[in-house]
Amino acid sequence: MPETTELSRPIAAAPGAPQSRAVFSRATALPLIFGVVAALPLAVAAQPGEGVRDTAFLLQLVVACYAGARLCAMVLAGQRRLIQGAFWLFCYLAMGVAPLAQSVLGREPTPVVGPRSDTVLATALVLLGMVAFDVGAMLARNRPALRGRKRAPARVDRWRLWLLVGFSLAASGVFVVQLGGPAVFFSSREEILLGLEEVTGGQVDQETGEAGNALLRGFGTVPVLLALLLLTRWLVTSRSARRSPSVLAAWTVVAAVNVIVNNPVSNPRYWFLTVLFSLLFTVFPRSPVMYRASLALGVIVALLIFPFADRYRYADDAANQTGSGSLLEPLAVKDYDQVGMFANHITFVDDGHHTYGGQLLGSVLFFVPRTLWEEKPVDSGVLVGEWMGTNNTNLSSPLWAELWLDFGPLGMTAGLLAVGYGAARADRRYVSRTLHDPSPGNVFAVVVPLIAGYSFILLRGSLLQATGRIVIVALCLALVTTFRDRPERRLW
C-alpha cells in the first residue's frame, strides 16, 4: 500500500463527484475579482500617456478584463487547473495588461511596421483565441469519462530513475566544465552565450539558430531538472524515502547542480518560471492554498519584479538602465511584445508571405541538419524580424501568431480550441490521477506541473525555440517510465 501523508490528501473530489468548497471566502473573493478584473485594467487605462484612445485601445481593455475574469475563475475554482491557470495568467499579463499599458503610453517595445488596422485585428484575434480556448475547455469538461478496460498507469521505475540521475549529473557536469566552471553561471546570460559560441566555434546562431542553442543548453539543464522533480515527488510522498540516506544524498546533489545551471541569473526568465512553477507544484501536490496563491501572487510578481529581473542579461548592468518617467514604463519592455509582434505577423502575411504549415513542420523536424534541408524554416520571430529589418531578431512569436502564419484565421481558432481542450483534459486527469494514485512513482503528477510551467515559453513563442527542450523532456520521461508493475522496482 502506498503511504499517505498530509501532502497527499485530496483537495477536490474526483470528476463527477461533488466539488469541494472554494478556499476563498466571499470577503476575500470579491476584492480579488474587483482588483484583477476592473481596478487594475482601469487604473492602467486612466494613466496619462501619448497613446490614442481608439478601437485598438478599447479592444485591449476588453482583452485585459476578459483574461482577468478567467484568471479569477481559475483561482476560485474547486479543482486545481494548473495548465489552464498558467494560460490565463500569461494572457492577463502578456496579452492584456502589458499591451494596454503600451497602448496608453503610445510606445511599442518592438516596432509595429504595419498600419494601425493590423494592431486592431491582432487584438481582436487575441480575444477570439481566448474565447476558442474557453470553448475547447468547456467541451473537455462536459465530455464523459471513458469507460472500458483500464490501462496500467505510467509509473517511475526505480532503477531507471537512478540511471536518469546519473545521466543528468554527467550532462550538467560536462555543460559546466565546457563553459568554464560554476562561476560563469552566476555572472550574466551574456557570458553564457559567449561561452556557448566559444564551445561551438562561434557557429551556434549562424548555423543552428535558436533551436540549436536551446538544444545545446537543453541537455545541461533539462534532465537535471526532471531528476529533481522526480526525486522531490518521491520524498514528499514517501516516509521511507525521507529516511533513506541514498535518496536524500541524491536529492541534495541534484538540487545543488540545479542551483548552478538553472538559476535566474544565467537563464531566461521564462525558463526560470518553468523551474519555479514545476518545483512548487511538485513540492505541494495537493495544497489548494499554494495553487491559488501562485496564480494570485503571480500577477504581482510579474508586474513588479519580472520587468526588472533582466538586469543580469548583460555583464554591464548599465546597459539595462532606462528612465522611468511613468509607472507603466516597466511594462513597455520587449518581453511583453506579443501583441505587437502578432500585428507584425499579420502584416507579414498580408505582404504575400504565406508559410502553409512550413513553420510548424520546421519546428517538428528541428533536428534535421540544414545541410540536408537547405530550405528548412528559421525561427518565426527571426523570420518576421529579418523582414522588418530590425537589428535584433530575437523576437517573440506567440502561439496566436504561429497558428496565423501557418493556417490563417480558421486554423488559429481551431488550434486554440484544441489547446483549450487538451489543457482541460490534462488538468482533469491530473486531479483524478493524483487523487486515486498518491504513490511516489506517479508520472502524471510530475508531468502536468512541468507542462504548466513550460506553457509560458510555448505561449510566448516561438515554437522552434521551445521544441528542443520538449524533446529532451520526452526522452527523459521515456527512460524512466514503465507500464509493468514490478514491486521490487517501485518507488517506496
User: What is 437-478 written as a DSSP string?
Assistant: ---TTBSHHHHHHHHHHHHHHHHHS-HHHHHHHHHHHHHHHH
Select the more confidently predicted residue: 431 or 316.
431
pTM over 0.85: yes
- Residue ranges of domains in the chain: 7-142
Confidence bin at 155 (pLDDT 50/70/90) = confident
Give CA separation, 214 vs 198, 220, 396, in Å.
16, 10, 15
Q: Give the C-alpha distances (Å, rounded to integers) separating 36 from 91, 250, 360.
A: 13, 42, 35
Average pLDDT, the chain: 82
Question: Would you say residue 4 has pLDDT above 60?
Answer: no
- 131 vs 392: which has the higher pLDDT: 131
Region 286-299: mean pLDDT is: 77
pLDDT for 200 equals: 58
Residues in CB range of 367: below 8 A, 6 or more apart:
215, 471
Evaluate if residue 208 carries a pLDDT over 90: no
pLDDT at 330 (0 to 100): 73
Count other Cβ atoms within 10 Å, centred on residue 313. 17
Residue 66, pLDDT score: 96
CA distance 211 to 218: 10
State how far the alpha carbon of 404 is from the alpha carbons of 173, 341, 457, in Å. 41, 12, 18
- Average pLDDT on 279-284 reads 86
Q: Taking the mean position of all CA atoms in its chain, how far away is CA 427?
A: 15
Checking if the pLDDT of 347 tops 70, the result is yes
CA distances 331 to 125, 168, 296, 303, 314, Å, are 21, 37, 19, 7, 20
Higher pLDDT, 135 or 333: 135
Question: Cα(422)–Cα(326) distance, rounded to whole angstroms?
Answer: 40
Q: Are 222 and 271 in contact (CB under 8 A)?
A: no
The pLDDT tens digits for 225-278 are 999 999 999 999 889 989 999 999 999 999 999 999 998 888 887 888 889 889
pLDDT tens by residue, 9-42: 333 443 433 344 444 556 677 888 888 899 989 9
Higher-confidence residue: 32 or 188?
32
Confidence of residue 420 (pLDDT cuts 50, 70, 90): very high
Closest listed residue to residue 205, CA positions, set 334, 378, 367: 378
